[in-house]
Amino acid sequence: MKNLIIAWRNLWRKPWRTVITSGSIFFGVLLSAFMTSMQYGSYEAMIDNVVKFYSGYMQIFTEEYHENKTINNTFVLSDSLVQIIENEPKITHYSPRLEYFSLASSKEITKATLVVGIDPEAENAVTGVKKWIEKGSFLNSGDEGVLVAIDLANFLQLDVGDSIVLYGQGFHGVMAAGVFPVKGILEFPSPELNKQFVYMDLGTCQNFFSAENRLTSLVLMVKDHYQLPTALSHLKKEIHSPFMIMSWAELQPELVSMIDADRAGGLFMKSILYMIITFGIFGTILMMITERQRELGVMIAIGMQRLRLSSILFFETLFIGLIGAFAGIAASIPMAYWFFKNPIPLTGDAAKTMIEMGIEPYMYFSMQPDIFYVQALIVFIITMVMASYPVYKSFTLPVTRALRA
């Protein structure tokens, strides 16, 4: 206990030396936390763009539909399946869908499209599709009108109030044909979604494809992707053949591969950052010990045991590490929070690239707690490893040379 008090007092005999040494740790924590927050924020944005624009966090469909996505492999929603979903507390919303391909025509122009039948209220709760209305109005339950994605509408030369002709094949080969008024134009941040989507009321879509009460999938949402593993594990135990459930990661393996590749690159960059932090911390500790050689020599000469001296120096480094780590956390949290609430807008080629990937052109930040305490812990561990140098120096310091320093 006495060594702790002596170590604490030694820190404030020369405050600027303590400030400089702990400052290197402070900036190490700040930079690593800021970089990690930006990295994790980009991953969360990628995931959100996938799940909140269309796929949801999980989807339930039949095993046959997974193998062959045809309208003949649809299913009728049963009360038992609804009960399983509603009994899972982490599920926040779910939405039924009937989706299948069709030809869309206007005047003499024709293009293949994906027709998606939705429950307007449930779908808006899941994916927030209503906010992407660029012109016109959103669907109401029972509407005969449709919503058309903007690039598809431009290609077919359609506007709100015009009519679109849909022609395709319905359930069990029945002809599906109809003329529908365009009620609204959708503009998604994703170019791929803008090229092919037509939304209509679920009942209207079921009538169009002669698939009464049938669905291709149920889209499920949780609060965030950190809640997903638990909910998915529980539902997989409850949902059995002929149904199956898959997460967004299983439905979008290419996005998972892209995130993993980016994570590997981020790990390499953080390794370089940690190396810089290590040398910075070691340099300040080396400076601190070098300028105190005479002081240490005098303490040994008047009878202080080297073991006790090494203990005092270790505790000094410990206190400096704690001060720097806590100060780094205290500064990084409000900084990251500011950018979390105010994402950095991107322009030029960077924005164009992100839009082409289906991601909104912003640099996002994350506020997950482990970002901050893990980075502080890593930098603190680096500091404790560097604390071995003062301990080593206390045992090997030549007294005569130190007294002449």
Which range has the top average pLDDT, 26-30, 73-77, 222-226? 73-77
CA nearest to 399, candidates 298, 256, 258, 267: 298
Structure tokens at 389: 């140098």
Beta carbons of 367 and 338 less than 8 angstroms apart: no
Q: Where are the domains of the chain?
A: 2-51+256-403, 58-224
Q: How confident is the model at residue 275 (pLDDT cuts 50, 70, 90)?
A: confident
Residues 6+ apart with CB under 8 A from 224: 44
Count Cα atoms within 13 angstroms, Cβ side, for 151: 12
* pLDDT given for residue 359 in this prediction: 67
Neighbours of 337 (CB within 10 A): 13
For residue 207, pLDDT beyond 80? yes
- Residue 308 phi, psi (nearest 5): -70, -40
Which range has the top average pLDDT, 23-27, 140-144, 200-204, 290-294? 200-204
For residue 402, pLDDT beyond 70? no
Note the Cα 315 to chain centre separation in Å: 39
* pLDDT given for residue 178 in this prediction: 92
Task: Give the model confidence (pLDDT) of 288-313 as tens digits.
Answer: 777 777 877 777 788 778 888 788 88
Beta carbons of 143 and 182 less than 8 angstroms apart: no
The H helix count followed by the E strand count for the chain is 17, 14
Q: Look up tokens 């402070």; give the residue.
A: 26
CA nearest to 47, candidates 197, 256, 235: 256
Task: Give the model confidence (pLDDT) of 54-97 as tens digits.
Answer: 778 899 999 999 888 899 999 998 888 999 998 999 999 999 99
Beta carbons of 162 and 156 less than 8 angstroms apart: no
Say if residue 105 is exposed, middle or buried (CB neighbours under 10 Å; 0-12, 13-18, 19+): middle
- Residue 270 phi, psi (nearest 5): -70, -30
The Cα–Cα gap between 206 and 183 comes to 18
For residue 193, pLDDT beyond 60? yes
Task: Give the model confidence (pLDDT) of 340-397 as tens digits.
Answer: 888 888 777 767 776 666 667 778 888 888 888 888 888 888 888 888 888 887 787 7
The Cα–Cα gap between 383 and 29 comes to 11
- Residue 209 phi, psi (nearest 5): -90, 5
What is the percentage of the chain residues whose pLDDT exceeds 90? 29
Task: Give the model confidence (pLDDT) of 131-172 as tens digits.
Answer: 889 999 999 988 899 999 999 999 999 999 999 999 999 998
The Cα diameter of the chain in Å comes to: 102
